[in-house]
Amino acid sequence: MFTNSKLAKSVKLACAFGAASAALVAPNAAFSQEAEADAPIEKISVTGSRIKRTEIEGANPVSVMEAVDIEKFGITSIGDVLQAIPSAGSAINTNNNNGGDGTTTINIRGIGSGRTLVLVNGKRWVPGLGGAVDLNNIPASIIDRIEVLKDGASAVYGSDAIAGVVNIITRTDFEGFHASAYQGQYLSYNDGNKEQYDVGFGFTGDRGSVYMNVSYVEEEQTLAGDRAISAVPTFGTAPTYGGSSAPPQGRFYYYGYDQAGDFWGVNGQGDGNGGINSWVEPDSRFNFAPFNYLSTPQERTAVYTQARYELTDNITATATAFYNNRKSAQALAPTPLFIGTAFGDEGFTLAANNPYNPTGLDISTDASVYENADGSFNQDAAVMYLFGRRMMEAGYRIFAQNVDQFQFNGGFEGIFEIGGSEFYWDVGYTYADIAQNEITEGLLNMDRVAKAIGDVDVCNSSSDGCVPLDLFGGSTGLYEGSITQEMLDYITFTAQDAAGTTLESYQANVTGDLFELPAGYLAFAAGYEKRWQSGYDQPDALIAAGITSGNSRQATSGSFSVEEAYLELAVPVLEGLPLVERLDLELATRYSDYSNFGDTTNSKVGVKWQVTEDLLLRGTWSEAFRAPSIVELFRGQADSFSPLTDPCNGGGSANPTLPGCAGIPTGYQQPNTQIRITVGGNPELLAEEAESTTIGFVYSPEFIEGLSLTFDMFDIEVENAVSSVGAQTILNACAADGRTLCSLIQRGPSGNVVDLYNGLVNLGGQTTSGFDWEIAYNFETSVGDFRLQMDGTYVDERTTLVIDPVTKEVTKFNDAGQAGDRDVVPRVRTNLSAIWNYEDFSATYLIRYIGNTTEACSIGGGYDDDLCSDYNPDGGSTNELEAMAYHDASFSYHFNDNLRFTVGVNNVWDTDPEVSYSTFANSFDPSMYEVPGRFGYARVNMSF
């Protein structure tokens, strides 16, 4: 009954004959073909099919990564390892600080992390609220291998398997004890220390086995200010360029007359009298970058237990239990305080009797007081257009997560015979839960801010301890440092949020041979699954009430259930003919009935043509779907402040070719680089639908022993894609014709964007196409055994189709949010590795190549000519991100069979990432490029 060890052997054989690993292949596995070839191979199932069979290579393109390959990357997160494979696109990881949450996800084909299904031992792993699995929570020490299917597989596995499937196979039948210790840091900067420790033990008896593993990981932060590329908002410019319009000294505009009798119009500015700062663009902007984390800290503790027991010769009970705790954090610069009609605020008044008001006027955020009843100007009124100040005294904004994840899988499996044929069956139950608590420090209670700058008599008589707030520095002219600790204690608060998801399911599967056809046995797999999924997000009461200086959001809560049944067939068609050594047809279909949007049926057809012993041709066509996640369906409306450029800056007269800017006052300039938008879920969302096609071959020429080649073309088309249109896309489209998406924008009387709705819709679709290749060559010499391998992906197209919710017009955008189908992701990504194995020594050299790409570029202030090129077929300027490569090296020595020592350096040549001007911070894309610096590490492995 203990067949998993045979499965591992079979997969290693598959690697030797063409299904090469996605990045590296273990030296010991690569050169053991003769020893393994004689081992008996039982029927197994490989990712992409639930049919047990003796053949490893199928119609599906599957890559395999062994446990020792994972170690050679020299990093502590399995998510970071998977993000390095060429077929993976940009995805969130621990280098995402602003917008990150401590998770690391996988995004096969770059069409969204929620469109890649993650399994552990063939079973669904619990996703977060957004539908993606946090791979940080799966410790590398429990992994035997990872199988990556780069094809749609909803017919076999159900929802989410649009772009591919990652199946993590854990250790089984381990007997003895193993332990490892790892430590690394950025040698160039002496920071970012990472540590990893794990111990595991297991035993195998006559009727069962038990394995247990405990692991611990600690990763320290690096600071953006410690790297030149991330120490300023926009690398290559002045420290203030691209900075925040809320500086420590404050920024203050209002309508009305000041004490000297001079009129202040909109965008009028003070002259320094009364402690009001004179705003000089861009010198007054605030450099927020040094306060941010560049890589975020984490601490993870995991416990994994797996057990099997043979109840009878034909029935085995199985159980696995997993627990992980993650503590993570992100840091941002001290909070900016913004008040005024520029942001659609009401209810704030800087009172004339406030002891720190330098104007002596009641200045309100209610624009209506500016006009008399007859529409004439009220000379006794003053209206606050904009106040912005960086609250340095409040310290960093810290977002700290404490996440507990638990998953249990239990069930029975066995074999029965009918008519001389064996049938394998299993039934199981899964329960999984993620519970997250988040504490955010450095936020402001805006109700208390309003009271503290308001009528001083009301403040002093308040029962809640109100203290008048000094935003200007008073007569001393001091700005930063004018706010006392007593003032801070009154206006600041610590937010406490809670969130979680739950997954529960029952499954039953059976597979076997039905009957014999002329070319072999017709095999099948069939099964049933019932699954429930629920989730919630409960923000702090002040955040939910919208009275915080941070992003407000409403609570999220919802659930859905699904019943599914599937059937899969492997049909042998021809065998033993010239140029048709074997021809097989693979068929699958799955019916899914969801409680929230109805039912769907998805099918798959695969062809496997073994032309000769050396050459296999293969192809698949499949339908796939993705059910909307809990967040997509039920997320409460929330604020988001995106860095945007309003195309209507200057007003309508300055933009005569943009009909959507008509009527906007002349001289209008957006008051802040970040514009408030509203995002939220949509319970009316439908499931995404997709079609994918793969065509390729596997070639292992007999005349070149040790050489294998694979090549697979892919094409994926997603319809009804769940996504937001994109705030910049909405602004640009509305400005261009005055119709498209304009209903989603709300502007104030001065032309400023007060709100922009960027909620989720089934917006149209996505398309991507290209091809993968893998080349591996093993050879032996007198100085050792070698393996050379090259894995790569070429992206031919990746675009988004957007449907206007009002006009229903369809527009095609690339990844930069520009009209057209020009792709801005790297066309080519490859991993090239060389492995040397000699007696007790082994070494690896890995080159990770990222191809060139082009992005839209708009840099003002005289920097444009230096930083942006002049030519762009879609209009505007561009920035060329040149091709680059990371070089990694490692060396291992086996002291004996039980002790191994490894040292390595990632980014050997200390290569910096390519500079990007379309990213919000750091001036590089943290989901594609690494934190600058040469990273060294050492690892000790022992077992007995």
Q: What is the pLDDT of residues 481-503, one digit of tens each?
A: 789 999 999 999 999 999 999 99
Give me the amino acid identity at 809: E
Segments in 630-673 forming alpha helices (H): 630-634
Residue 929 corresponds to which tokens in the numbers above? 């490029």
Tell which residue, 834, 865, 864, 828, has the closest CA to residue 847.
834
Residue pLDDT, tens place only, 533-544: 999 999 999 999
Q: At which residue do the structure tokens 């699958």 appear?
A: 588
Of residues 440 and 174, the one with the higher pLDDT is 440
CB 767 within 8 A of CB 797: yes
Q: Is 486 exposed, middle or buried (0-12, 13-18, 19+ CB in 10 A)?
A: exposed
Of the pLDDT bands very low, low, confident and very high (cuts 50, 70, 90), residue 28 is very low
Residue pLDDT, tens place only, 210-262: 999 999 999 999 999 999 999 999 888 888 888 888 888 777 777 765 445 55
The predicted structure's pLDDT at residue 363 = 87
Strands 784-803 and 810-813: antiparallel
Average pLDDT for the chain: 85
The predicted structure's pLDDT at residue 378 = 67
Of the pLDDT bands very low, low, confident and very high (cuts 50, 70, 90), residue 21 is very low
CA angle 654, 642, 479 (to 5 degrees): 90
Of the pLDDT bands very low, low, confident and very high (cuts 50, 70, 90), residue 344 is confident
Is 816 a residue whose pLDDT tops 70?
no
Q: What is the DSSP string of 285-346?
A: -B--GGGSEEE--EEEEEEEEEEEEESSSSEEEEEEEEEEEEEEEEEESSPEEEESGGGT--
3 state SS of 544: helix
Q: At which residue do the structure tokens 């002049």 appear?
A: 870
Which of the residue ranges 50-54, 460-464, 617-621 would you say has the lowest mean pLDDT? 50-54
Is 23 a residue whose pLDDT tops 50?
no
Of the pLDDT bands very low, low, confident and very high (cuts 50, 70, 90), residue 36 is very low
The predicted structure's pLDDT at residue 711 = 96
Is 356 a residue whose pLDDT tops 50?
yes
Is 164 a residue whose pLDDT tops 60?
yes
Whether the bond into 282 is cis, omega within 30 of 0: yes
Residue 828 corresponds to which tokens in the numbers above? 């080519």
Q: What is the DSSP string of 915-936?
A: P-SSSSSTTS-TTTSPPSS-EE
Residue pLDDT, tens place only, 700-719: 999 999 999 999 999 999 99
CB 543 within 8 A of CB 618: no
Of residues 35 and 544, the one with the higher pLDDT is 544
Is 865 a residue whose pLDDT tops 80?
no
Q: At which residue do the structure tokens 């929570």 appear?
A: 137
Of the pLDDT bands very low, low, confident and very high (cuts 50, 70, 90), residue 858 is confident
Go through the chain and tell me how many residues it has. Answer: 944
> Quick one: what percent of the chain has pLDDT higher than 70?
86
Residue 816 φ then ψ, to 5°: -90, 5
Tell which residue, 891, 864, 889, has the closest CA to residue 878.
864
Of the pLDDT bands very low, low, confident and very high (cuts 50, 70, 90), residue 477 is very low
Which of the residue ranges 220-229, 613-622, 803-812 would you say has the lowest mean pLDDT? 803-812
User: Stretch 802-815: mean pLDDT, rounded?
Assistant: 63
The predicted structure's pLDDT at residue 366 = 81
The predicted structure's pLDDT at residue 68 = 80
> Quick one: what percent of the chain has pLDDT higher than 90?
57
The predicted structure's pLDDT at residue 14 = 40
CA angle 698, 700, 704 (to 5 degrees): 155
Q: What is the largest CA-CA distance in the chain?
A: 103
The predicted structure's pLDDT at residue 399 = 96
Residue 812 corresponds to which tokens in the numbers above? 């095609």
Residue 893 corresponds to which tokens in the numbers above? 């020595």
User: Stretch 152-159: mean pLDDT, rounded?
Assistant: 94
Which of the residue ranges 759-768, 866-875, 908-917 would you say has the lowest mean pLDDT? 866-875
pTM beyond cutoff 0.85? yes
Residue pLDDT, tens place only, 103-150: 999 999 988 899 999 999 999 999 999 899 999 989 998 999 999 999
Of residues 452 and 824, the one with the higher pLDDT is 452
Of residues 942 and 54, the one with the higher pLDDT is 942
Which of the residue ranges 75-89, 247-261, 271-285, 390-404 would you say has the lowest mean pLDDT? 271-285
The predicted structure's pLDDT at residue 611 = 95
Of the pLDDT bands very low, low, confident and very high (cuts 50, 70, 90), residue 281 is low
Residue 384 corresponds to which tokens in the numbers above? 């606050």
The predicted structure's pLDDT at residue 250 = 78
Of residues 725 and 227, the one with the higher pLDDT is 227
Is 266 a residue whose pLDDT tops 50?
no
CA angle 239, 95, 726 (to 5 degrees): 80
Is 814 a residue whose pLDDT tops 80?
no
The predicted structure's pLDDT at residue 821 = 39
